[in-house]
Structure 1
Amino acid sequence: MLLKFSFLNSVICCCLTWALSVLPVQAQDTHRSPGDALAYFGQSHKEDTRSLSHYIVAVYRESLGDLEGAIQEYQKAQEADPQSSLLYLSLASVFIQKDKQAQAIKELKRSIELDPEAVHPHALLALVYSASGKPDLAAEEYILAFENATKQEPENIEIYKSLGAIYLQQKKLKQAEGIFKLIIKLAPADPEAYFYLGSIYYDLKEYLSAEKELKKAIKLKPDYHEALNFLGYAYLEQDRNIDPAGVMIKQALVAEPENGAYLDSLGWFYYKKRNLKEALSYLEKAAYFLSDPVVYDHLGDVFLKLGNSDSAQLNWEKSLKLNSGQDQVKAKLLKLTNHGQ
């Protein structure tokens, strides 16, 4: 099976690193040099330092764990300087620590209004939405965070990769394609960029383009097990290059012998080779490591070929339980049950 990427988790970790690092750094800058800290509050407060004073006290109280005291000081700082994006971001971070998500969202939205080109308010807002069970809103904020980050660091490859990953999660394939093509221009020897571009073309059903990019990824990194499995399984699904597909999948399994997706691929290879005993063995191993509708669908096909209709039905039902939108599995199950009547 095609291994679905854990893009969002890596992106969330990246954003979390940003979000959790920005406020301590700002606090360090404030304590190190009051003159530097004034830059955060605008030219109009060079003479009136009330906002800065409250901000410093707020940071100090927050560092001591006095979150209520920090909230009061941040709010006083906001009263003195209501146009500082940093103050709303800082207050939002305290509300997040107190698990007051509604207040945090309000402060972050105000921070973004004041500084729409900033990265951290969008990143923090994405984290809040993720924690609130709102993945679509979270993804929108991650996109804005990374788009802003690319403006600040236009040659940072990792930022572009994260942005491309979010586009993939959102099924915005053309935008993702543009991002990974840009990465290849900036870093033509980056195998991941070719791999992701190949996966995009596969989803777009541009199979020859997908094959071309995946081969480039493997040429740059011969032990790239994700790409080896992806291309191998793609060949199996297209009923071509069956033997080379098996070689690639076996290479992938050397790297990760307990990877359920890779075991499923090898089981499907043996199914294509009509070696049903080996197919069943590897697919059952795959099901042990990975509960996935594709694995159970494949098991159903193998059991049907072996003449075990009951086990075929059981596995197709498991597959549909995990993903009820599989029309082909429904059709197979319907045909089996009607035939048995």
Structure 2
Amino acid sequence: MPFTLPHVLRNFVVACSLAAAVGSTWAEAQPPSASLNSALDADLFYELLVGEVSAQSGDFVAAYALFLDAATKSHSPQLYERAVQLAMASRDGNAALKAAQAWTRAHPGAVDANRYQVQILVNLNRMPEAIAPLKRNMGQMAIADKLATIEMLPRYFARASDRKLAATTIEQILSPEIRSVTTGPLAWAVIGQARMHAGDYPGALLAARRGTALDSHSAAAATLALALVAHAPSEAEPMVLAYLSNRPTPEYRMGYIRYLIGKQRTVDAYGQVIETNVQSPDFPDAWLLRGSLEIQNKKNAEAQVSLDTYVGLRIAGRGTSDIGDMDRPLVTAYVLLAQLAEQNGAFDQALGYLGKIQSRQELVRIAARQADLLARQGKMDDALKLLRTLPEYEPGTAREKVNAEVQLLRDHKQLTEAYKAVSEGLRRFPEDLDLKYDMAMLAERIGEFAEMERLLDQIIATKPDYHAAYNALGYSLADRNIRLDEARLLINKALGYAPKDPFILDSLAWLEFRSGNVTEAVKLLRGAFQERPDAEIAAHLGEVLWTMEQREEAKAIWNEGMRLNPANETLLETTKRLRSTQ
């Protein structure tokens, strides 16, 4: 295998550094004559050089033998590790195990040595063989090393294919530790984690209880209980709540809050967030979460205070090394503050908040929000200039800018200009089918139906599984009440690619309605709306119900659609047209 001399020299410099370090250690441990030490150092230097040359040549077997010999002579953990790595590079698990075992014998408390030994045995599918040496080595360790080893055990067995065997093996390794007040809580937590990964949730819950019984303040046992709360809430949640009464770290309470939010228990979550603010007022994340919950619950004044507090804490904690791109939570805080200002009609203040955001990743998204605010103040030219002059830091930024401009013009009902913008974008990105699809949808909205059909046909010819094109074309034909047989073929083709898509089912329902199959239409629309509550589906379902003289239900469905999206054009047009016929 070819190799370059600089690479060999670089590795040799590392080897020489190791040899120098172990040479001095050896000299302290062994006080023979200086000439003997010099000879030993020279031998090590030569052995390491030959070993590195062998490794760079691809002769891992020879390199392994040389490094293991050097490690045995010097007792250097670094050289033992290099020997293990060389054996692994040669895919010789038994040789790697031999080196790791030698390392463990030389340094019984070495966490890395034990990690390698166990991981090699796991890869060799010889997990039970790890029990005796680990128990023996842990018996010789100081408490701190023992706790570190216990904590690392789950990582050692992370790649085990037989998780039940891994859990049993871990339990046997830790059997001497589970009664100790010092090591027992952590040992039980690790056993519980292994059981949980093996799908044994009752066993994991029992482990959490036993760890808590040894020490009710054990963070490890409490963390296991928190992990189990999603699987056994009635049993695990009381343990979590008991631990919360001990004033735990804010990170632990935030983990419980995330569980509560996931279960839509927002009232409980809000109470826990406030408790976090009281106990840890300088913990920023809780203030951001509190502000988000307050916005969700329309407590805008309280949200303003919470978000201002979060931003203040974050800015105070930012060092000079943090200047540059903001992380996502800080970006989120400014976006939420801008949202509050926008809801209050303070557009300039909202623009100010958005202007504080420094994030290349969020560049176009934030600029699109700013452009929308400018357009709403009658400054469309400024809005378009903002988007068009954005720097293109990333390869995809130019495409994102086209999207943002088209969306801005579409949202502000400048459909002809939006059509021109997407057409220009398609000239820049002629292979982009999503842009072509957007152009087709805009062509339909400005009444250019032939152009819409031409574009959708092109998409289908280029990418036959682009099911949205089949659906759009089929729906358009059904909506115009023309070529209904062709519409059915197209919509069924789309359903073949996405059988449960609620929007395609909405199209099929609309086709059934246009074909006079009202009962089938309402059945399909109810299913689609249940699967995906959406204003456009609500418009269609309400219209079908209205024609069936079920007008109270139709109004209720429309009201729900208005709640979902009060600006939906289809819904607004439908309700205006049909309510005027009462």
TM-score by length of structure 2 reads: 0.35
For residues 256-286 of structure 1, what are the alpha-carbon distances to aligned partners after superposition, in whole Å with 9 as ceiling and x for unaligned? 2222221111011112222233222212211
Summarize the alignment of residues 303-314 of structure 1 with structure 2, pairs less than 5 Å apart: 303=545, 308-309=548-549, 311-314=550-553
Q: 2:373 aligns with which of 120, 133, 136?
A: 136
Output the CA distance in 2 between the equivalents of 1:286 and 1:98.
Answer: 32
Higher-Rg member (1/2) = 2
Partner of 1:206: 448
Give yes or no for contact 2:416–2:446 (8 Å, CA) kept in 1: no
Partner of 1:162: 403
The structure, 1 or 2, with the larger RCO (C-alpha pairs under 8 Å, 6+ apart) is: 1
Give yes or no for contact 2:539–2:574 (8 Å, CA) kept in 1: no
**Structure 2: which amino acid aligns with 1:226?**
A
Summarize the alignment of residues 177-216 of structure 1 with structure 2, pairs less than 5 Å apart: 177-216=419-458
Q: 2:578 aligns with which of 317, 322, 332?
A: 332
Decide whether aligned partners of structure 1 residues 107 and 289 sit closer, same or farther in structure 2, where only a CA change above 3 A counts: closer
Decide whether aligned partners of structure 1 residues 147 and 260 sit closer, same or farther in structure 2, where only a CA change above 3 A counts: same
**Structure 2: which amino acid aligns with 1:239?**
N
The 10-residue stretch of structure 1 (183-192 or 194-203) with the greater mean CA deviation from structure 2: 183-192
Give yes or no for contact 2:426–2:436 (8 Å, CA) kept in 1: yes
**RMSD in angstroms over aligned alpha carbons?**
4.5
How far residue 92 of structure 1 moved from its aligned partner, in angstroms, is 7.5
**Structure 1: which amino acid aligns with 2:558?**
S
1:68 counterpart = 2:355: no
How far residue 288 of structure 1 moved from its aligned partner, in angstroms, is 1.3
Give yes or no for contact 2:509–2:520 (8 Å, CA) kept in 1: yes
**Structure 2: which amino acid aligns with 1:136?**
L
Decide whether aligned partners of structure 1 residues 327 and 257 sit closer, same or farther in structure 2, where only a CA change above 3 A counts: same
**Structure 2: which amino acid aligns with 1:70?**
R
Output the CA distance in 1 between the equivalents of 2:366 and 2:538.
Answer: 38
Give yes or no for contact 1:92–1:105 (8 Å, CA) kept in 2: no
Q: 1:148 aligns with which of 364, 379, 389?
A: 389
The 10-residue stretch of structure 1 (292-301 or 206-215) with the greater mean CA deviation from structure 2: 292-301
Q: 2:554 aligns with which of 315, 325, 340?
A: 315
1:287 counterpart = 2:496: no
Give yes or no for contact 1:292–1:319 (8 Å, CA) kept in 2: no
Output the CA distance in 2 between the equivalents of 1:181 and 1:151.
Answer: 20
Partner of 1:237: 479
Partner of 1:225: 467
Give yes or no for contact 1:320–1:330 (8 Å, CA) kept in 2: no
Q: What secondary structure sits across from 2:516 in the alignment?
A: coil
For residues 132-165 of structure 1, what are the alpha-carbon distances to aligned partners after superposition, in whole Å with 9 as ceiling and x for unaligned? xx96359989966642347678997633543334
Decide whether aligned partners of structure 1 residues 333 and 219 sit closer, same or farther in structure 2, where only a CA change above 3 A counts: same
For residues 8-67 of structure 1, what are the alpha-carbon distances to aligned partners after superposition, in whole Å with 9 as ceiling and x for unaligned? xxxxxxxxxxxxxxxxxxxxxxxxxxxxxxxxxxxxxxxxxxxxxxxxxxxxxxxxx985
Decide whether aligned partners of structure 1 residues 93 and 137 sit closer, same or farther in structure 2, where only a CA change above 3 A counts: farther
| Unaligned segments of structure 1, at least 5 residues | 1-64, 75-85, 113-117, 337-341
Give yes or no for contact 2:433–2:459 (8 Å, CA) kept in 1: yes
Query: Percent of aligned positions with the same letter in both sequences?
Result: 21
Give yes or no for contact 1:231–1:245 (8 Å, CA) kept in 2: yes
**Structure 1: which amino acid aligns with 2:330?**
I
Q: 1:268 aligns with which of 495, 510, 524?
A: 510
Q: What secondary structure sits across from 1:329 in the alignment?
A: helix
Output the CA distance in 2 between the equivalents of 1:209 and 1:177.
Answer: 12
Decide whether aligned partners of structure 1 residues 212 and 158 sit closer, same or farther in structure 2, where only a CA change above 3 A counts: same
Output the CA distance in 1 between the equivalents of 2:328 and 2:545.
Answer: 56
Q: What secondary structure sits across from 1:223 in the alignment?
A: coil
How far residue 108 of structure 1 moved from its aligned partner, in angstroms, is 6.9
Partner of 1:96: 330
Output the CA distance in 2 between the equivalents of 1:246 and 1:98.
Answer: 44
Partner of 2:418: 176
Decide whether aligned partners of structure 1 residues 274 and 93 sit closer, same or farther in structure 2, where only a CA change above 3 A counts: closer
| Unaligned segments of structure 2, at least 5 residues | 1-312, 339-348
How far residue 99 of structure 1 moved from its aligned partner, in angstroms, is 4.1
Output the CA distance in 2 between the equivalents of 1:94 and 1:291.
Answer: 29
How far residue 98 of structure 1 moved from its aligned partner, in angstroms, is 9.8
Give yes or no for contact 1:191–1:218 (8 Å, CA) kept in 2: no
Q: What secondary structure sits across from 1:326 in the alignment?
A: helix
Decide whether aligned partners of structure 1 residues 159 and 227 sit closer, same or farther in structure 2, where only a CA change above 3 A counts: same
**Structure 2: which amino acid aligns with 1:326?**
L
**Structure 2: which amino acid aligns with 1:195?**
Y
Output the CA distance in 1 between the equivalents of 2:397 and 2:426.
Answer: 12
